[in-house]
Amino acid sequence: MRLDLLGLTMSEDMLPKVRAALLPLSITDGTDEVKRDGQRIAAVLVPLVMRSEWHIILTQRPETMPSHAGQIAFPGGKAEGGETIAQTALRETEEEIGVASAHIDLIGRLPSFNAVSDFRITPFIGIVAPDAVITPDPREVESVFEVPLAYLMNPANHIRREVFFDGKDHVLFDMPYDEPNGRHRNIWGMTAMTLYGLWRRGFEAKV
């Protein structure tokens, strides 16, 4: 899918700021590799889709999941043998929400980071075709919802939270969101901090 098929120009929307935040798709410095004993490689996709404006697609995990139950997340998971880390993000997206790679245009990535759960995670940003059919796998996804990118990139919606973990003080940012139907979604943890990182890199000095 090419961006021009959406009938948009980059000067008309928020996409230039997103692009300004991103690293190239190719990874040549090993930043995505294991950094400590017992760590595993993983990737997530931050899916952008154009409706009346840009939205980010998010999932909520079932309460029955053995780990991260009920949490709001991006599609993603651990790498399998023989695939690149970008392929991991695309495969996991198809497995979790049914959107195949043919409907996703990867445009870059955010810096890899160490997650609390012993994963080395690389977030990729991808534009999803507006007509892509989303079919969540109920074993991994309780629901799929979309949040306007403008809402998530507005610092007024970044709620500061201080926590003490692993012997250190940490500052986190949550992004609570009420859907038009009234359902409350508390975007927090790794998902919120990935979005906060996108804001810091592409939007902070430009808002």
Domains and CATH numbers, the chain: 3-156 (3.90.79.10)
| Per-residue pLDDT, 5 | 39
pLDDT in tens, 26-40: 999 999 998 888 899
| Per-residue pLDDT, 94 | 98
Torsion of CA 122, 98, 7, 46, to 10 degrees: -20
Q: What tokens does 124 get?
A: 């990729």
| Per-residue pLDDT, 100 | 97
| Per-residue pLDDT, 105 | 98
| Per-residue pLDDT, 37 | 85
Contact indicator for 22, 109 with CB cutoff of 8 Å: yes
Q: Which residues in the chain show pLDDT less than 70?
A: 1-12, 65-69, 205-207
Q: Structure pTM?
A: 0.90
| Per-residue pLDDT, 78 | 94
What phi-psi label fits residue 64: left (phi over 0), alpha (psi between -120 and 50 degrees) or beta?
alpha
